[in-house]
Structure 1
Amino acid sequence: MRAPSGWRTAVRRWCLRHLQLLPLLLLVAGVVLDYNTPPHFSAEAFYTAAPMTAAALLSLRATILSGIGACAADFALLTHFGFIEDSGGRSELAAVATVSAFAVVVNRLMYYSDVRLQSARRVALAVQRAVLPHPPTAIGPLRIAVRYQSAVKDAQIGGDLYGVLDTPYGVRCLVGDVRGKGMEAVKAVDVALGAFREAAEEEPTLVRVADRLDRSLLREAKRRTGPEQTEGFVTAVLAEFPYSGDELRLVNRGHPAPLLLRGGRVRSVEPSEPALPLTLGEMGPGEGRADTVPFPPGTTLLLYTDGLTEARDRAGAFYDPGNRLTGRDFSGPDALLDALLTDVRHHTGGRITDDMALLAVTRSRGNEGSGGTGGI
């Protein structure tokens, strides 16, 4: 049975906090061992380990103090046993002093490396906010939440994308997944979101919005070289919430089917007319169609990328969000996505192998128009 993630986090914090005492413990252990063993035995390894450990765990001041303490302890014990005048004793003390000085250099190198890393993280976060800005938490009766989970530790953006816009035709949403990784995928994400923001404001139907996305991504793909020019594609699902009526419209271009949640029940909304992913429309007939489904008060739409459904446990079993969410009720879209991510981490044991973009939209109770009230 795996421990709760909160408990594991507390244990990690406790360990990191107490690791800071390790240099002092090494010095004390070295002195005790050196003093209580025969004169020919040396605890030089403890004296050199203390400042090097401090270099990795502590500040510059603590590293310097640790080095001074190591040299002082070694000098005191060498003097006590009468070895300070011997060449072996002086060589030992010189070695401890040299390692202590080197520990200061290592501490500074690690500090500047950490500064560069933090700067890179801030730049990555700025890029993420520019490419994938956080949508408003509410538009009229709709409450909105998004989460982005990268498979790469400390990465802020990958090949998954989401977008939410308040347009003249209603609130329109997009969740997509670019085939491939790296900067080429990020470029495609940028193109797809730029095309979506423009088309969603101008095109009267979701099918035409998808068509604009298709053309923009196809132009971008033709600028690539190698296999990405012909093999790159984007799966996507678009949703539209009209201002009047309790319904929504969906266009699915080769993407995992959205889920509708209401009262503990979960329904998968499969497209009535399957369509190829974006940029592959020229390879087959049909551009897909918009499906209209009921979206009464208290219902939540969950859009996600395949990083969710392809998450596996240790036995290789895929994560099934439909089954895992059935019978559960949530106070809102944020609570749903938080619980979903926690459940996925438990399912996989914390091993995330693909990016995940999650978008949930809930129609609040009591603020709706006069549309139908059909169930899901």
Structure 2
Amino acid sequence: MRWFRWLPAALILGVFVLDLLTPPHVRVFLLLAAVPVLVAPWLSLAGTIATGGAALLAAVALPLVRGRLPFGVEDIVPFSTFVTLTLLAAVVNRLLARERRQLKTAREVAEAVQLAVLPSPPHRIGPLAVAVRYEAATREAAIGGDLYAIHSTPYGTRLMIADVLGKGLGAVRTVNALLGTFHEATLHISDLSGVVRRLEERIQETNAAENGGEAERFATAVIAELSADGSTLHVANRVHPAPLLVHRGRARPLEPGVPSLPLGLADLGSPNVLPDVPVDRYTLPAGAVLVLFTDGVVEARDHRGIFYDPVPRLSHPLPPDPNHVLDALLADLHRHAAGHLDDDVALLAIGLPRHANDGPGEAPAAHRRKTAHSRRV
């Protein structure tokens, strides 16, 4: 906000003009004393003191413009008040600066804990290039519930990105439970819908263990499976932002064919009975980049309150490199939100090999695949 640089000068000039337009017996002197107090929250200590000095010089100049000498007997109390308010502005500035430092430290600690909880995926899994990013919210110092995971399994490369409701230790416990369950289930359950069912069971078990079963924690999530050559993608979307397929200057959301409830709420309509898990199938083009992200991306707003849409930014020619794509997306996100994110952001990008399907089959063809059984895994 560059206009803040000119705020002190504008306020002083405004008071100066106001004094010239008012009758001589009406004095607006004390309005100048309020200027350093008004700007103290945004300026540095030196800027606050400099503003107080400039306002004091303006206060001295005002009587001269009116044709009388300053520092008369009647000016002792106003000038004393002026000096007192300037000192008060300096104290307020220091207190606010200390609060900002403490909040920054708390945010950095929360981000460090979050990153310690999250796994560090390899840069490559077979022919797939992998990139992840995590950004802590600028307005929160609590540990969030964003998570991502990717594993190479006998059934293909399986990945998950999710956002657990809430913050704090309860969210961290749920994140740990989901990450551990996903790691175990992806290695031992052949069916992707079975993996989703196991995650659903685990989050319900976690809810039942907290507060005597009164907890209602849930998570939006995308659980996906890539074939060994990266040409086929199966996705189970649990009310999460749709993954984006970035290819040849175009970004396409992979929307689910059938909506599903979040993890933890699948049996909302029929307690103790888990419904079938809808799974969508997509044929992917060679050299594309698959981008998954949490709600913090699409919930970021600009100064007009407009939500961020990542599709336009990624619908430009970009190198087929997941790191480059995520860097471009984050830079545009921070520009849109002016650097103030209201929620944590987690991103996972997969660079597909350049020798898979290409040409006529490059558009993702969605074919919904539902499980034919309802047994609990």
TM-score normalized by structure 1?
A: 0.67
Whichever residue aligns with residue 298 of structure 1, its letter is G
For 1:283-302, list aligned pairs within 5 A: 283-288=272-277, 293-302=282-291
Aligned-partner residue type, residue 360 of structure 1? A
Distance in 2 of aligned mates of 1:110 and 1:136: 41
**Match among 81, 86, 89 for residue 100 of structure 1:** 86
| One-letter identity of the residue aligned with 1:103 | A
Q: Residues 295 and 155 of structure 1: is their aligned pair in 2 closer, same or farther, counting only changes over 3 Å?
A: farther
Paired residue for 1:233, among 206, 218, 230? 218
Structure 1 gaps, min length 5: 1-11
Q: Deviations over 1:208-255 (max 9, x none)?
A: 4334323321221102348953x5433433223344574344445565
Distance 2:293 2:6 in 1: 40
1:361 aligned to 322, 339, 350, which one? Answer: 350
Residue of structure 2 equivalent to 1:164: 150
Distance change >3 Å, CA 276–CA 129, structure 1 → 2: same
Distance 1:85 1:299 in 2: 77
- AA matched with 1:129: L
Distance 1:325 1:73 in 2: 48
Q: 1:37 to 1:326 in 2, by over 3 A?
A: closer
CA distance in 1, matches of 2:285, 2:82: 73
Instruction: Name the CA distance, whole Å, in 2 between partners of 1:348 and 1:105.
Output: 31
Query: Cα–Cα, structure 1 residues 227 and 348, in superposed 2: closer, same or farther, change >3 Å?
Result: farther
Q: 1:256/1:287 Cα in 2 relative to 1: closer, same or farther (>3 Å)?
A: farther
Once residues 54 and 309 of structure 2 are traced to their aligned partners in structure 1, the CA distance between those partners, rounded to angstroms, is: 57
After superposition, give the CA deviation of every residue in 1:30-70 in whole Å (9 maximum; x if it has no partner). Answer: 78987999875545235413432453343334444554565
1:343-367 deviations in whole A, cap 9, x for unaligned? 999999999888765533231314x
Residue 375 of structure 2 corresponds to: none
- 1:122 matched to 2:108? The reply is yes
1:7 paired residue number = none
Question: 3-state SS of the aligned residue for 1:188?
Answer: helix
State how far apart, in whole Å, the 2-side matches of 1:353 and 1:73 are.
41
- Any conservation in 2 of the 1:236–1:252 contact (CA below 8 Å)? yes
CA distance in 2, matches of 1:328, 1:310: 22
Residue 174 of structure 1 aligns to a residue whose secondary structure is strand
- Indicate the RMSD between aligned Cα atoms, in angstroms: 5.2
Gap change, CA 1:172 and 1:252, over 3 Å in 2: same
Identify if the C-alpha distance between structure 1 residues 124 and 41 changes in structure 2 by more than 3 Å, giving closer, same or farther.
Answer: same
CA–CA distance in 2 between the matches of 1:318 and 1:68? Answer: 42
Partner-residue secondary structure (3-state), 1:105? helix
- What does the per-residue CA deviation read over 1:153-200, in whole Å, with 9 as the maximum and x for residues that have no partner? 45686444322234565432102243x434344542332123323444
Code of the residue aligned with 1:363 in structure 2: it is: L
- Give the AA of the match of 1:284: V
Number of aligned residues: 352
Q: Is the 8 A contact 2:243 2:291 kept in 1?
A: yes
Residue 331 of structure 1 is matched in structure 2 by 319
Q: Quote the residue 1:52 is aligned against.
A: 37
Once residues 345 and 38 of structure 2 are traced to their aligned partners in structure 1, the CA distance between those partners, rounded to angstroms, is 37
Is residue 128–residue 230 contact of structure 2 (8 Å, CA) maintained in 1?
A: no
Pairing 1:282-321 to 2, within 5 Å after superposition: 283-288=272-277, 293-304=282-293
CA gap of 1:293–1:345, structure 2 versus 1, over 3 A, is same
Distance 1:93 1:203, change over 3 A: same
Fraction of identical pairs, as percent: 39
Taking structure 2 as the reference length, the TM-score comes to 0.66
Which amino acid in structure 2 is aligned with residue 362 of structure 1? G
Measured at CA, do residues 61 and 347 of structure 1 come closer, stay the same or move farther in structure 2, by a change above 3 Å? closer
Asked if the contact 2:146/2:345 (under 8 Å) is kept, the reply is yes
CA distance in 2, matches of 1:285, 1:78: 81
Aligned AA for 1:299?
A
Q: Confirm or deny that 1:15 pairs with 2:3.
A: yes
SS at match of 1:238: strand
In 2, are the aligned partners of 1:253 and 1:288 still within 8 Å (CA)?
A: no
Task: Tell me how far apart the structure 1 counterparts of residues 235 and 225 of structure 2 sit (CA, whole Å).
Answer: 7
